[in-house]
A and B are shown apart, each in its own frame.
Chain A
Amino acid sequence: MLFASLLFNLPAQADSGQTFTVNGFGTLGAVRTDTDHVEFVRDLSQARGATDEWTAKTDSVLGLQANWRITPQWQVVAQGVSRYRYDRSFRPEVAWAFVKYEPTPNLSLRAGRLGTEFFMLADSRWVGYSFLTVRPPGDYFWYLPFYSIHGADAALTLPAGEGVVRGKLFYGLSRGDIPLSDELWNIKGSPMLGGYLEYQSGPWQVRGSYANIRFEHDLPLAPVLLKEYGIVFSQADARFLETRNTRTHYYSFGVVYDKGPLQAQLMLNHIDQGTRALEDSDAGYLLLGYRLGEWTPYLGYSRVRSKKQAPPASPIAARIVADSHSDQKTVFAGVRWDLARNVALKAQWDGIRGDSSSLFPYRQDDLNRWDGRMDVFSMSLDFVF
């Protein structure tokens, strides 16, 4: 790794010349909870999660990125990432690979495999070094197993007084699978469309964003029901719980204030599900951090609550819909220690206080014993190179 960075991190020789750089990021994380009634995951893309024994699976990641600037206007970027994913492996994958064209300094056009900024900070969720907490607040990001699209985006920046206005639009076909019990929900090929508008001035950044996805495939409910309960999925239930050709809408609003030693973030989102199988939800978080030399203690609060849509057609449908219910609050507190250049050590406690019906964020629910309360202890070593 060191060798690679020595070899490739050559500074730009001349503006007109080509440059090739390789950078990397990583996290060595350890997390445990105080219960084995449910498994705690970072987001719904993970098949299994943490219980009351320490695990490094949930938060550990290694990423490597190559940037090839061909001309001042044209650039090729590729990023490979290894993290615990839907198929229970750390198999490395190409997170993004795209061509970027910048006809003017403030217009950027990209095409290829792209990260999606569904919500603010969503496309840097795995770069632990870039943020304060061990992981992005769960109540806000659990719902977001979407990482990349095959498509294109365009971003335009315009000066506005002392600040800048930035807008971005993206469109593409989603990639990947979302684990559901022992099965996988295929979201490959589902068209995704979205964009945001933001204003940034001095320490302030305000952003509103919208995105939608139209699912191409149904949830794999039939095999799950058969395997777990020995129930044959009825046609009426299948129709009621259809996800194929339904469209889910994501709205979010975020404010960041970042001045001197103080960092504050407020984010709100609303998800309007097209399918009756999943509940609509509202979520938000507030995070405050204050740097004291190399140490930055932080404190946060997050909340998520979902609502039923139509009354389910049958007890089985009701049971499925109930699985997507969430209703919980989390207080989290921790400290980031910037112990060396490009290396940070973090420790964090999350106190999740929810209803026992709050099941959506977890894996392997033991319904009879889960009471909605959980304490999560995390440590991470984040680095970039």
Chain B
Amino acid sequence: MIRRFLKLLMLCLGCLGSGAVMAELVVVVNARSGVAAMTRNEVINVFFGRNRQFFNGLEAMPVDLEDSHPKRLQFYKTLVGKDLSEINAYWSRQIFTGRMQAPPRLESTEEVLKWVAARPGGIGFVELSRADARVRVVYELKP
């Protein structure tokens, strides 16, 4: 009972303090993509392969993180409220019907930044503090 209460208290403190535990995630695109901002639904459309173009016609090339990377869970939890098992179930349907392949999964934020910077249509998610001049922040994921 006491342990549960303490756990709850810590969770609440976590919400208030935010910073260290749940660094804010942002969606970044290539700085030369011509995309300045996106809505939540546009971000969902691109990361779920529903729409593979930006508003200006440029092909969107989303990139994801490995399952084991904690930011992957945080990203999908915040964006659509889904667990990774549901995201993987979604992609297994897309793959095995032959409709499309899932975005490549990289191991680290640095690799994501490199991927996005190397492709005009590159789009990924990183911690806000890691977004640098190579990329442009187009959406902030608020919990």
Chain A positions near chain B (C-beta within 8 angstroms): 11-12, 15, 21, 23, 25, 63, 65, 67, 69, 77, 79, 96, 98, 100, 104-106, 108, 110, 114-115, 117, 121, 123-124, 127, 129-131, 157, 159, 162-164, 166, 200-202, 259-261, 291, 294, 338, 341-342, 344, 384
Interface size of B as a range: 35 or more
Question: Is the beta-carbon distance between A79 and B96 smaller than 8 angstroms?
Answer: yes
Select the stretch in B8-16, B28-36, B49-57, B126-134 that faces chain A: B49-57
Question: Is the beta-carbon distance between B41 and A77 smaller than 8 angstroms?
Answer: no
List which B6-52 residues lie within 8 A (CB) of chain A. 39-42, 44-45, 50-52
Give Cα A127–Cα B89 distance, bound, in whole angstroms: 9
- Contact pick for A162, options B39, B53, B83, CB 8 Å: B39
Question: Is the beta-carbon distance between A200 and B50 smaller than 8 angstroms?
Answer: yes
Give Cα A77–Cα B98 distance, bound, in whole angstroms: 7
- Contact pick for B90, options A12, A130, A342, CB 8 Å: A130
- Contact pick for A259, options B42, B50, B59, B81, CB 8 Å: B81
Chain A contact residues, majority secondary structure: strand
- Contact pick for B81, options A23, A69, A162, A260, CB 8 Å: A260
Indicate whether B108 reaches chain A with its CB closer than 8 angstroms.
Answer: no
30 interchain pairs, CB-CB under 8 A:
A11-B105, A15-B119, A25-B92, A25-B96, A69-B101, A79-B96, A98-B98, A104-B53, A110-B98, A115-B98, A121-B93, A124-B96, A127-B96, A129-B92, A131-B89, A159-B45, A162-B39, A164-B45, A166-B50, A202-B41, A259-B81, A260-B80, A261-B81, A291-B83, A294-B85, A338-B85, A342-B85, A344-B85, A344-B89, A384-B88
Asked, given contacts A338-B85, A384-B88, whether A164 binds B96 with beta carbons under 8 Å apart, the answer is no
